[in-house]
A and B are shown apart, each in its own frame.
Chain A
Amino acid sequence: MNIEQIIKGIKERSPRAIARAITMVENGDVLVEDLLSSLDKEAIDSTMVFGITGPPGAGKSTLTGKIVGYCRKLGKRVGVIAVDPSSPLSGGAIHGDRIRMMEHSLDMDVVIRSMATRGRLGGLCASAGAVCRILASSGCNPIIIETVGVGQSEIDIVKIADVTALVSAPGLGDDIQALKAGLMEVADVMVVNKADKPEAQMLAVELNEIAREKGTEVILTIASEGKGVDKLYHVMEKIYLENEKKGIKQQKRIEYRKKEITDWVIEMIRSDIEKKIDSIDTDLDKDPRVVASKVASELKDVLLN
């Protein structure tokens, strides 16, 4: 498949072309800029991007699968990006999120793609942003991004989304504490999943206190039975529409775009910086921080002249 066929195929919603385009983005293919420049700007601007984040085992994939099912009932074509961490040792990854969404495998209006973090710092955000735009151009609206929400890099991914739901569930122990410490900041909606378990009520009460201060809602769901999923969808959609009316969505996207550009630029010049540092040999016995200052000021000189 050549680049013209891929560009054409995205518009025609060809699964193969969409998949190829995403791989090109992921692998940093040189031709990808032609492709990205050809995308449908109007579709991109008007596509809702929802983030589903939370600790492993909370039920994010199950919930995502059910939201997809609900969207299909509404006649919407849906895109899903399921992000999993790469192994820091081997660089490999296992993507198991699809297992909970397999009922949609034969539905041509559900596009699911697994992505690994690949140890990229800002890089993943950059790739995932481009993947979102490809999916939007192929007619997907909404797009759902599932990420494991524990660390800072995941919080960064969440910034791509217009509306983010933080999913927790009873019985996850310390992870909930970690959530309170950080991720609640970024959540527009809080979900307590596995509401079929009695301890879910307690968790909901606990989260409600925090949520009330922020003015966010806590929604109970039983993802495995599809309960509460319609409500969650409509709350997310409502927040999206309100934010759009107030211009908050647009502002967020502009900020995200700047961040994405920054990430790309850093990625693109990273190897040059590494080369430059490889070529220094005289200063290596000095403190690294001191050397970095010197290298940075030399680089800035070049940049500003």
Chain B
Amino acid sequence: MEKLYTICIFTENTLGLLNRISGIFTRRRINIESLSVSETERKGVSRFTIVIKSDERERVEKIVRQIRKIIEVLAVFGYEDHDLTYNELAFFKVDAEKSAGVKELLEGYKRAKVLFEDQRILIIEKAGTEEEIYAFFSRLKPFGILEFVRSGRIALPNNEKGLAQYLPEVDWEYYM
């Protein structure tokens, strides 16, 4: 059965790394479902969060080992959803004229709010998992969605570890 896997990659912050990382997926014809990159709590260390679908855990493990080979990669971990706390963020644009009832709809949701509003449009933010966002999408659809954007997943594993435990071999002073 196809499952989602989240791959967290810790890297040195260098140019061209995204190209090398994505190349490993394209070579094996694996589609990247979502991607987000940010600097971590340590200066100079970036965190890539990549979501892929696979029906074989083994395939994901092979990918993880190949990513680890990239020189600037400090560490790589693959997770299934139950190991993680994760979320995405989505923005929706709706026509103000057709938006009667939208705000009432929002009240039923904890993590949805209006970010921008004028005579012409409303921009609504919704945070949550992919399913939650799509469920919200279908509720909003009757009002007419002018534009929709969804971010890549960000995720943290549900364990007691921090960066120093993930990367025990790394000489931390180097990044201070």
Decide whether A and B assemble into one complex: no
